[in-house]
Amino acid sequence: MDLFEYQGKQYFAKYNIPVSAGGVALTVDEAVAEAEKAQYPVVVKAQVQVGGRGKAGGIKLATNADEVRLHAGNILGMDIKGHVVKRVWIEHASDIAEEYYASFTLDRAAKQHLLMLSAQGGVDIEDVAAKDPTAIVKLHINPINGLSLATARQASVDAKIPEKALNGVADMLVRLYECFTKGDCDLAEINPLILKPTGEVHALDAKVSLDSNAAFRHPEWEEYAATEELDAREQLAREKDLQYIGLDGTVGIIANGAGLAMSTLDVVNQVGGSAANFLDIGGGANAELMTAALEVINSDAKVKSILINIFGGITRGEEVAKGIVEAVKRVSLRAPIVIRLDGTNAEEGRKILAEAGIPDSQLTSRPTMLEAARAAVALAK
Amino acid sequence: MAIFVDQNTKVIVQGLTGGQGRFHGLRNKAYGTQVVGGVTPGKAGQDVEGIPVFDSVEDAVKATGATASFIAVPPKAAPAAILEAARAGIGFVVCITEGIPAQDEARVYATLQRDFPATRLLGPNCPGIISPGKCNIGITAGEIAQLPTASGPNVGIVSRSGTLTYQALYELKQQGIGVSTCVGIGGDPVPGTSFVDCLAEFQTDPETHAIIMIGEIGGSAEEEAAEFITNHVTKPMSAYIAGVTAPAGKKMGHAGAIVSGGKGTAQGKMDALRMAGVKIGLNPTEAGSLMAEIVNNLH
């Protein structure tokens, strides 16, 4: 789960990482009120979960209420790379002497934590990596040893952080690491990490991605879930506890198992179609799950055909088939279904589907994934 | 022969008295696996259809001589359960639990490396392992796995995805091709056992003559496998990678299946494996057909 900048800063603050005072605003009036509180000059920042806000005109300096009005008015509702700005963050403008970069992630290949630190911040870190890879220090941290202040200081020296900022940056790294580990982040990034003319080190931006598997020990995350940007289909799927991701195509997909669902998307694409979604109903594939899945797919106006791809393992083909027949009776579908049922007792399952009295215009069966995908794509055209 | 588990493997189930542990533990036993005990703290002295239950893994190992453990407990309890098994001297731990926080997985992995290097963890969030006719630990339906033949050729399977593993087993069964061992390494960010670990075992296993590998988007495990194949694997291979059409930045069901910052794409993985001499199927059936061709050429 990705956080907005303002949420990331609030999250940082819990771990004593210095961030600017500010507030979030949904309207121009709220923006002015927050600016008064934060005291001028302020920065008006678009809250979207995509990079390149500054270049798109989503970050502006304001020295009085009129300027806040102008900028907040322009930024709210702005489309930045397909993300519409619904909120702005208003914070007191910081004086900047220097800009650095710091982040922690899990390096899956090394199976260790990875610190990336650079004295070149405030720009896209991928650009720094491409132009001058030696400007980024990469340090692996064994998760059971953690990061000591001494190691953080050495990494800062290696990254050529100037003497005057060394202590501040090292201290910041230890705090950010604690936020990353205790806060169950997939990513905790500060870019830019700034040195103020007065000598303090400060987080001017916050990019935080949380590991949703750890939600059970972070009840405070519920507020973030409330602002997650889901479309109507994704919202419905979440209510029904389904693993669903909305896409732009015309073939609705239901499969059992994440790998099989991904694979179904691929095969639909190979035969010239496009998937409307990713939907994994898990191993069970019973009538309740199938009904919920069909309801979500049915709510998508773009769907022209539905491809159900089930491989029966422990759940046998006839049980899956009965579940589908039951679900088709419960949901009044707008689009025809093509089903591929394979695996344990698949033939018995196909027989149940064939003899259920559902007209061919509503449900047809194909023996392989490829043939089923072709049929579903043809129906979607 | 087979890899990691065979007819002599003695298994305990941590969480045998829970819903999943009981269901799959009993199925594994019915398949012929030596399921010799279960562990649920506070339930020592009870039994599940004749399988004795112990308070701790240590007690279970002392009483039964178990060498492997099947962990089917909730995400909160799984990290401690894995380390308890390792501490009790269990050499092979299969953890099917889905939803363990990545930070916990990383700490468990590092602890195993430092304190219990003799213990191999398979998973978490994996379907388990089956050496057909010998041992089945986990949630795989044993009847879809074709028995290996003494003369071969037999195929080894290694996969990150559950249902695609079953699909691969099924494709081979349709073609009458025997399977030496099928390993599901799981879809989480920090798997205890990697593609490379399995490929190394298959390469030295005399009963395995060819290998199917099923990968998916996210991370770089397939690229590391490709490098290992180039240098160490001489047995013929086919592979399939799921997620060619997955959008960037979205977790596709599995916690580890995500394309981020242009890295971990299916195309990159397929290219790397192709360079290593692996035949790439564009869907699971094609990977199965390619394997059938490989096997026919081995006869």
Q: Which two tokens stand for residue B115?
A: 């304190």
Position B122 scores a pLDDT of 98
The answer to whether the CB atoms of A262 and B217 lie below 8 A apart is yes
Q: Which two tokens stand for residue A142?
A: 């064994």
In this predicted model, what pLDDT tens digit does every residue of B177-200 receive, in sequence order? 999 999 999 989 999 999 999 999
Dist. CA A154–CA A170, nearest whole Å: 8
Position A265 scores a pLDDT of 95
* Average pLDDT of every residue of chain A: 93
Dist. CA B157–CA B199, nearest whole Å: 9
Q: Which chain B residues in 173-212 lie under 8 Å from chain A, judged by CB atoms?
A: 187, 189-190
Closest-CA residue of chain B to A180: B103
User: Which residues of B are less than 8 Å from A369 in CB distance?
Assistant: 283-285
Position B157 scores a pLDDT of 97
Q: Which has the closest alpha carbon to B77: B110, B126, B45, B41?
A: B41
Closest-CA residue of chain A to B218: A108
Does the model's ipTM exceed the 0.95 cut? no
User: Which residues of B are less than 8 Å from A314 in CB distance?
Assistant: 27, 139, 141
The answer to whether B124 and B95 have CB atoms below 8 angstroms apart is: yes
* Average pLDDT of the residues in A161-166: 97
User: Which residues of B are less than 8 Å from A108 in CB distance?
Assistant: 189-190, 218-221, 256
* Residues 6+ away with beta carbon under 8 Å from A27: A72, A76
Position B258 scores a pLDDT of 74
Interface test with A, best of B20, B111, B166, B251 (most A CBs within 10 A): B166
- Taking 90 as the threshold, does the pLDDT of residue A273 lie above it? yes
Position A158 scores a pLDDT of 97
Position B262 scores a pLDDT of 66
Domain spans of chain A? Answer: 21-92, 98-224, 232-380
**What are the E-state strand segments in chain B?**
10-14, 34-39, 47-48, 51-54, 68-71, 92-95, 120-122, 128-131, 135-138, 154-159, 178-184, 210-216, 237-242, 279-280
* Average pLDDT of the residues in A310-316: 80
Position B209 scores a pLDDT of 97
Domain spans of chain B? Answer: 10-122, 145-298
In this predicted model, what pLDDT tens digit does every residue of A252-264 receive, in sequence order? 999 998 899 999 9
Which pairing describes strands A277-280 and B128-131: parallel, antiparallel, or unpaired? Answer: unpaired
Position A284 scores a pLDDT of 67
pLDDT band of B125, cuts 50, 70, 90: very high
Backbone angles phi, psi at A127, to 5 degrees: -65, -40
Tell me the three state secondary structure of residue B156: strand
If you average pLDDT over each of A49-63, A231-245, A355-369, B186-200, which comes out highest? Answer: B186-200
Q: Which chain B residues in 41-80 lie under 8 Å from chain A, judged by CB atoms?
A: 75-76
* Average pLDDT of every residue of chain B: 94
Of B99, B166, B245, Cβ closest to residue A265: B245
* Average pLDDT of the residues in A160-173: 97
Domain spanning B10-122 has what CATH number? 3.40.50.720
- Taking 80 as the threshold, does the pLDDT of residue A315 lie above it? no
Of A214, A247, A259, Cβ closest to residue B216: A259
User: Which residues of B are less than 8 Å from A245 in CB distance?
Assistant: 247, 250, 252
Closest-CA residue of chain A to B168: A343
CATH architecture of the region A232-380: 3-Layer(aba) Sandwich (3.40)
Dist. CA A269–CA A309, nearest whole Å: 15
Chain B: nearest CA to A274, how far in angstroms?
9
Chain A: nearest CA to B37, how far in angstroms?
23
Please tell me the class of the A21-92 domain. alpha beta
Position A99 scores a pLDDT of 97
Residue B217 contacts A, CB cutoff 8 Å: yes
CATH superfamily of the domain spanning B145-298: Succinyl-CoA synthetase domains (3.40.50.261)
Among A10-14, A129-133, A203-207, B251-255, the minimum mean pLDDT is found in B251-255
- Give catalytic residue positions of A: 101, 189
Same fold, B10-122 and B145-298: yes
Position B261 scores a pLDDT of 66
- Taking 70 as the threshold, does the pLDDT of residue A179 lie above it? yes
Q: Give percent above pLDDT 90 in chain B.
A: 82
Q: Name the DSSP class of B252.
A: -
CATH architecture of the region A98-224: 2-Layer Sandwich (3.30)
